[in-house]
Copies of this chain bind each other. A is one copy, B any other.
Amino acid sequence: MPRTNRDDVTLKDIAEAVGKSVAAVSRALNNYEDISPETREHIKRVAREMGYAPTDTLGLVLPTPSARTSDPYFGELLASITSEAASQGFDLLVSTCPADVEENRAYLRLINSRKVDGFIVIRPRRRDARIEMLREKQFPFVVVGATNVAGQVYSVAVDEAKGAQQVVAHLVAQGHQQIALINTPADLMLSLNYLAGFQQAMQHAGLPINTDYLTNSDFSQKDGYRIAHRLLNLSQPPTAIVATDDLIALGVMSAVQDQGLEVGSDVAVAGFGDILLAEYSKPPLTSVRRSAGLLGQKACQMLISRLRNEPVAQQNVVIQPSLVIRQSTDLALWL
């Protein structure tokens, strides 16, 4: 027996069931153009019902080091994707690859070896080689995060710019005027979107943007700590520091405290993501709730629908973020 995938359903069996030739079945399942759409769908449906080589593995390639599962965001994303996938009979194949020229090869390997039937692409970038390649190959995928090619891809994203606006508006309402931004790496769509929202909100509040206050960091407490130190040692340090990730914000809080300042009163700090730690940190961290679990679940559902050739109601789902205000920006909460 060659490597048939399962309990002995062959193309021949399907061919007999649908009354077509083995070749037609093969070509239908491989999406050849010379099989009529109706026949193709019919064959696929019968094949699925008969349990033939089910398309049943989703792929996820974590771009390291920016994305690590030790990052709570990815933990949650993975958790929700895996459990949603499992509940629909799909498995999840996870790999990691540095975000460089090798990356597309990692995707191609999974495609060509047929280990994966569709991808969930995370943390989209400005000119995203992964997305370009998958689109060109017409390989099914769904992006988690806003892209600049919406309309051409399927995606589930939180409105990151809106989140930034909410944070800034809140800080302005608290009386802050010197607001610094520690953004995530500049090539990420997340960073671009957040920056756009930040700038818009600052402008809306009539505040100038000090370019010394615009920086980038990677997703770690360590780097947040380092950069916050720099910001606090400026001749005119900011009174509020906004970070595009909660881990960065935790580092910022440490830096503020290590300078002998108090978070919340001396310097306000806000993050993004609302990881569990945000609630437990000292002081609790104001953050934008992004519900990674919901993002993962929706993206997974969308991808599975696509793989089953079911209609997808909305090609670009946008989830509204909500600002969770805690003591790191609001002293009034200290009772």
Residues of B within 8 A of A308 (CB): none
Interface size counted on chain A using CB atoms at 8 A: 41
Contact B94 A69 (CB under 8 A): no
**A79 in complex: contacting residue of B2, B5, B69, B79, CB < 8 Å:** B69
- Identify which of A12-20, A275-283, A315-323 touches chain B: A275-283
Contact B78 A94 (CB under 8 A): yes
- Mark contacts of A270-295 with chain B using CB atoms, 8 A cut-off: 1 yes-contact digit, 0 otherwise: 00000011001110000000000100
Contact B64 A70 (CB under 8 A): no
- Mark contacts of A61-96 with chain B using CB atoms, 8 A cut-off: 1 yes-contact digit, 0 otherwise: 010100011101011101110110110000111111
Q: What is the distance, in angstroms, from A33's C-beta to the closest C-beta of chain B?
A: 18
> Which chain B residue lies CB-closest to A69?
B79
Q: What is the distance, in angstroms, from A174's C-beta to the closest C-beta of chain B?
A: 23
Cα(A115)–Cα(B90), bound, Å:
12
Does A46 make an interface contact (CB < 8 A)? no
Q: What is the distance, in angstroms, from A254's C-beta to the closest C-beta of chain B?
A: 10
**A68 in complex: contacting residue of B64, B74, B79, B94, CB < 8 Å:** B79
Residues of B within 8 A of A92 (CB): 93-95
Contact B57 A115 (CB under 8 A): yes
18 A-B pairs in the complex with CB atoms less than 8 angstroms apart: A3-B3, A5-B113, A6-B113, A57-B115, A68-B83, A69-B78, A70-B75, A70-B76, A70-B79, A74-B75, A75-B75, A78-B78, A86-B96, A91-B95, A91-B115, A92-B94, A93-B93, A250-B280
